[in-house]
Amino acid sequence: MFTLLKFLALVVLLNIIRYVAGYPFESWLIFNGLFGAMSQNPSVFNNQYSTFDWVTSYFYNFIMWLTVTWVFRLLHHSLHGSMILKSLQVFGLMFLFFASTCAILMNHYSHSKAFYFYVTFDGLLVFTLVAIANGLLYPLFFKK
């Protein structure tokens, strides 16, 4: 039970790092293009988030990082290199799944493809950031 609580605490911390450390980069590199693409398609995108929308968005993101970190927990023993390198490998693999899902969705909708470019670029940015954070923090949470 204690291992599960430590794991959940790690995932919560990774989520916090994702938003706190990621936000400056996202606001500089991503947000103008992303929100611009969204505002060009108001019939498709929800630009007026309610409290419920924010809560569910953060919950879905929590589940995504929980899943990626769980896959890391399952695979890291079979990888070579430092924990940061192992984390980059696993999070990189999971980013490829994320990016391919974005590409598949992009193919099925007629609204701006720029939205998917920015979402994928944002994913590359935050997956890398969270991978590095995970590589640094995981050994602190799960010492041998």
Provide the domain count of the chain: 1
Strand locations in 5-53 (E): none
- C-alpha 133: how far from its chain's center? 12
Largest CA distance in the chain: 52
pLDDT mean across residues, the chain: 92
- Residue 34's domain comprises 2-43+50-141
23-32 per-position pLDDT tens digit: 999 989 998 8
Cα–Cα distance measured from residue 124 to residue 27, given in angstroms and rounded to the nearest whole number: 15
Cα–Cα distance measured from residue 86 to residue 80, given in angstroms and rounded to the nearest whole number: 7
What amino acid occupies position 62? F
pTM for this entry: 0.91
3-state secondary structure of 80: coil
